[in-house]
Structure 1
Amino acid sequence: MATYKKRGYKPKTEVEKQVNIEEESTTAEVFNTLDETASKTEDFVAKNQKYIFIIIGLVAVIVLGSLAYKEYVAKPKQQAAMNDMFQAQKYFDQAVNGASKDSLYNLALNGGEGKFGMLDIIEEYSGTPSANLANYYAGTAYLRLKDYKNAVKYLGEFKSNDEILAPLAKGNIGDAFVQLNQNDDALGYYEQAAEMRDNEFTTPMYLFKAGTIALELGKADKALAYFERIKNDYANSTEAAQVDVFIGKATVLANK
């Protein structure tokens, strides 16, 4: 056990003298080791100074290059993409809210009046937020045009953290798989869509769709769990108004 020694303390016994010598020796060794390490570090820096400066320079170039790219390339590219996307988005909105839906969805996809369509935006402005959003519009347009394989393709490319769009994209893929008679795939996407966000719009909607597909697949227990969740957690949703009927169906099938 170490003991505290006052400054100027002189060892009295031979044992204390020996301990004192060993402590001084250990301290000297520590400082010698530190000196040797520092010396080796200095030697290493001296010998490799050229390469160290090159590495530092490369890091600086990468950081500055990234900042410059964002400021002088990415931002202008995104702005141009937004401008070119305006007419295609207008066609899409008109198709959702008006007549001549098929022709308007085609215009939204392929462009019109000398303006870009969503497919052009995806190709010309790859990597921008606008191109990403164009994947959602394109996939949804193909879904409305009953081109379900392309709907799956483009909606699958869309990435988002948005409260509504993120689950809608997954749910739309589920809708496409239903039309392709791939109900197992559809169920998986409906379940993803239901769990992605917790809100009064998309969550009960996709729980309901998941429940109905689960019933068709003979998975009554799973369907019942989804329907009961709607009843208990989303009582004010549109789906809740009719969910009791489906709870009854699922209960009967689950008990067979």
Structure 2
Amino acid sequence: MATYKKRGYKPSKEKVVDNTVEETFDESQSEVAKAFEGLDQAANKSEEWIEKNSKPLFYGLIGVAALILLYLGYTKFISEPTELEASNELAYPRSFFDQAETAAGVEADSLYTLGLEGGDGKYGFLDIAKTYGSTKAGNLANYYAGISYLKMKKYTEAIEYLEQFNSDDELLGPTALGAIGDAFADINQPEEALEFYEKAGNKKDNEFTAPMFLFKAGQTAMQLKKYSKAESLFTTIKEKYATTQVGRNIDKYINSAKYAQ
């Protein structure tokens, strides 16, 4: 006959009654046994599921391994060599672009054109952007092509290529957006110019591009008679970039926008 443990009472492991040994029963031992039994059942079910799905699991692992190998192979034998090749190609038109930056007039336009179109069997920015568009050098070629067209006053082409350029670089990212704003301003589309000047001014929080393009945005807003917006843009310069060249003289522009309203 089994006896059960009562609350507050700890029975001995066994006791003698009428010369017979009566074993006591510990409920906690039963709970542990049930827990182990549950684990055994779960393990059995897991084994059954694995056995049942062994082939799909095997093929799935093979598929994952194949994808990893394909990615590594693509990076090693295709992506990296293509990046290097594109970077090497970019050096040729870059040399003309750099020369054009210090030239003027017809000479500058000729150098920009050589940079865009290439020569002597070498690619220019346009070919590099088209052929290596998925590479970093191909992306950068869009920037140089856009700036080249902007300097040559070919504003539609400048916008086309600069809009294809994408960068988080501290200077190039904002400069490309600001250059699009310049192109729109030069073809008398101030609304679009304001949009891109604002994007350029807010792209990176630095003391060079940010105040410069926020100031251009403010001036364009004044041109559009959006005086409240202009005041807000000029005030941002005062609050965040007061020590910059633009910021030191910003109060008079804030006052101009304020009293124009």
Shift of 1:20: 5.7
Q: 1:14 — aligned with what?
A: none
Name the CA shift for 1:248/1:158 in 2 (closer, same or farther; >3 Å): same
User: Are 1:131 and 2:138 counterparts?
Assistant: yes
SS of the counterpart of 1:38? helix
Question: What one-letter code is carried by the residue in structure 2 that aligns with 1:123?
Answer: K
Shift of 1:200: 1.8
2-structure distance, mates of 1:192, 1:46: 58
SS of the counterpart of 2:180? helix
SS of the counterpart of 2:128? helix
Q: What residue ranges of structure 2 are gaps of 5+ in the alignment?
A: 1-6, 15-24
User: Are 1:198 and 2:205 counterparts?
Assistant: yes
Shift of 1:189: 1.5
SS of the counterpart of 2:53? helix
Correspondences of 1:208-219 after superposition (within 5 Å): 208-219=215-226
Shift of 1:187: 1.4
**Residues 16-72 of structure 1 deviation map (CA, whole Å, 9 limit, x = unaligned):** xxx965x66655444333222221211221122122121112212222222222222
- Find the structure with the greater CA-based Rg: 2
2-structure distance, mates of 1:205, 1:193: 9
Shift of 1:84: 1.0
SS of the counterpart of 1:66? helix
Name the CA shift for 1:234/1:20 in 2 (closer, same or farther; >3 Å): same
Name the CA shift for 1:143/1:5 in 2 (closer, same or farther; >3 Å): farther
2-structure distance, mates of 1:208, 1:248: 14
Shift of 1:6: 6.6
**Residues 174-222 of structure 1 deviation map (CA, whole Å, 9 limit, x = unaligned):** 1122233332222121111111112221011011001011112222122
Q: 2:118 — aligned with what?
A: 111
Correspondences of 1:12-91 after superposition (within 5 Å): 27-91=32-96
Q: What residue ranges of structure 1 are gaps of 5+ in the alignment?
A: 11-18
Q: Which has the higher helix share?
A: 1
Q: How many residues are treated as equivalent by the alignment? A: 246
SS of the counterpart of 1:131? helix
Give the alignment's Cα RMSD to 1 decimal: 2.8
1-structure distance, mates of 2:8, 2:65: 51
1-structure distance, mates of 2:209, 2:123: 31
1:150 to 151, 157, 164: 157
Q: Which has the higher strand share?
A: 2
Q: 1:167 — aligned with what?
A: 174
2:184 to 174, 177, 185: 177
Q: Percent identity at matched positions? A: 42
Question: What one-letter code is carried by the residue in structure 2 that aligns with 1:215?
Answer: M
Q: 1:16 — aligned with what?
A: none
SS of the counterpart of 2:121? coil
Q: 1:102 — aligned with what?
A: 109
1-structure distance, mates of 2:204, 2:108: 30
Shift of 1:245: 3.7
SS of the counterpart of 1:98? coil
TM-score for both structures, normalised by structure 2 = 0.83
TM-score for both structures, normalised by structure 1 = 0.84
SS of the counterpart of 1:200? coil
2-structure distance, mates of 1:8, 1:67: 67
1-structure distance, mates of 2:97, 2:8: 83
